[in-house]
Structure 1
Amino acid sequence: MSDIRHIVFDIGKVLVHYDPELPFRRIIPDDRRRAWFLREVCSNEWNLEQDRGRSWTVAEEELIARFPDEAENIRAFRRHWAEMVPHAYEDSVAILRELIDAGRDVTMLTNFASDTFREAQEMYPFLKWSRGVTVSGDIRIIKPDPAIYEHHTRTFGLDPAATLFIDDSEKNVLGARAFGWQAIRFDDAEQLREDLAGYELVA
């Protein structure tokens, strides 16, 4: 029998699709200019600070000070955020449901801004199904900082050695393993089912 007693899901690109390109294909139609904007202005690194708890107001003000000609496009990032999460991965959600229905202890751990996560929960009610969620923006710590795994472990009373983490990011998977959890990298739902079957968590 599997020694896993706790299963922890990441959310973005595991349960919910995320792609900032989607609204910006309309907002900035030129491919080269859009690529520059999302690489150098509203970059992944800039957005990650909102996941760490920085307010959108501060984030926008600081970036507009650096790129005043891009003010409207910078504000458009938050304004059109919902378009960046257009659908769930239904096969992954089905696995989540199956685990919960089987009585497994399921929680979630996500790098997500506080306000957009609450919006996502309204868009996707399955984000309320698990026993609880650690949201990086709420606690101002992001994966793969060991402190976020420690916080989640303490908050939900997990046994690290009996915890299995599912995340699409290799560095977050490695961070979880270094902390003492077991962890698998998510590629797609079919592979996830195979991995979970290997732990005897699904049929």
Structure 2
Amino acid sequence: MEIKNIIFDFGGVLMDWNPRYFFKDYFNDDEKMEYFLENVTQSAWNQEQDRGRSLSEGTEVQVKKFPDWEKEIRAYYDNWTTMLKSDIPQNVEVLRKLAKTHYHLFGLTNWSEETFPYALENYDFFQLFDGKIVVSGTEKLIKPDPEIWYVLLERYNLKPQESVFIDDSLKNIETARSLGFETVHITTETNLEKELIDLGIQF
């Protein structure tokens, strides 16, 4: 079946976000930083904000659990914009090329409803999606739960077999494949344009 739609995850695909960009200088101690990120503000905690919990509630929950780390926990979302270092230029370039073709572009992202507007305002390439973006924090659903893909499919009347899904998370890729999407798993070595050409995408 002919591919008509190309769906992008954002973090790790188009945006370079990592809490280490802030906490490396904050701690000036890699061992302490890694302990904090793995045991106090672990990814499962951050995911709850991506799932729709407010940043303030998420912060208070963690401060109660780890009172000795209160200052560091409060610094997490106060300095979130520093963690969003930049776009990922080679993949954004592919997105810009795709925007000049006949393919339809969509976003499907695990992102807090409170922080996503900052990215939207500060990186112009998001305008290429023409508002066709499903944000986990708004939907109160999060990848790899298949339900968030169903939101995308139903809202925009898409068929998985006519769509390519691009993500840096293998779990998300596996879910998308099980739903019938063509997929591209992004790693540091991935040449996105070549991967898409191999799937029959014409630039």
The TM-score normalised by the length of structure 2 is: 0.95
- Is 1:110 aligned to residue 88 of structure 2? no
What's the counterpart of residue 182 of structure 1?
182
Per-residue CA deviations over 1:27-56 (Å, capped at 9, x if unaligned) read: 212221111100011111100100000001
What's the counterpart of residue 48 of structure 2?
49
Q: Which amino acid aligns with 2:33?
A: R
Contact kept in structure 2, 1:8 and 1:108, CA below 8 Å: yes
Q: Secondary structure at the match of 1:129?
A: helix
- Is 1:72 aligned to residue 56 of structure 2? no
- Is 1:133 aligned to residue 133 of structure 2? yes
Question: What is the CA–CA distance in structure 2 between the aligned matches of 1:190 and 1:36, rounded to whole Å?
Answer: 30
Question: What is the CA–CA distance in structure 2 between the aligned matches of 1:178 and 1:118, rounded to whole Å?
Answer: 31
What's the counterpart of residue 33 of structure 1?
32
Q: Which amino acid aligns with 2:30?
A: D
- Is 1:58 aligned to residue 57 of structure 2? yes
Q: 1:189 to 1:196 in 2, by over 3 A?
A: farther
Q: Secondary structure at the match of 2:129?
A: coil
CA-CA distance at 1:188 after TM superposition:
4.7
- Is 1:145 aligned to residue 127 of structure 2? no
What's the counterpart of residue 197 of structure 1?
197
Question: What is the CA–CA distance in structure 1 between the aligned matches of 2:96 and 2:55, rounded to whole Å?
Answer: 33
Q: Secondary structure at the match of 1:196?
A: helix
What's the counterpart of residue 16 of structure 1?
15
| Runs of 4+ residues over 3 Å off in structure 1 | none
Question: What is the CA–CA distance in structure 2 between the aligned matches of 1:20 and 1:30, rounded to whole Å?
Answer: 14
- % of aligned pairs identical? 34
The TM-score normalised by the length of structure 1 is: 0.95
Q: Secondary structure at the match of 1:17?
A: strand
What's the counterpart of residue 170 of structure 1?
170
Q: Which amino acid aligns with 2:195?
A: D
Question: What is the CA–CA distance in structure 2 between the aligned matches of 1:26 and 1:108, rounded to whole Å?
Answer: 32
Contact kept in structure 2, 1:193 and 1:202, CA below 8 Å: no
Per-residue CA deviations over 1:105-145 (Å, capped at 9, x if unaligned) read: 01000000011111111121212211410000000100010
- Which range moves more in the overlay, 182-191 or 119-128? 182-191
Question: What is the CA–CA distance in structure 1 between the aligned matches of 2:153 and 2:134, rounded to whole Å?
Answer: 10
Q: Secondary structure at the match of 1:86?
A: strand
Contact kept in structure 1, 2:55 and 2:114, CA below 8 Å: no
Q: 1:172 to 1:121 in 2, by over 3 A?
A: same
Question: What is the CA–CA distance in structure 1 between the aligned matches of 2:170 and 2:79, rounded to whole Å?
Answer: 28
What's the counterpart of residue 83 of structure 1?
82
Q: Which amino acid aligns with 1:171?
A: K
CA-CA distance at 1:101 after TM superposition:
0.9
Aligned residues: 202
Question: What is the CA–CA distance in structure 1 between the aligned matches of 2:152 and 2:67, rounded to whole Å?
Answer: 39
Question: What is the CA–CA distance in structure 2 between the aligned matches of 1:148 and 1:10, rounded to whole Å?
Answer: 12
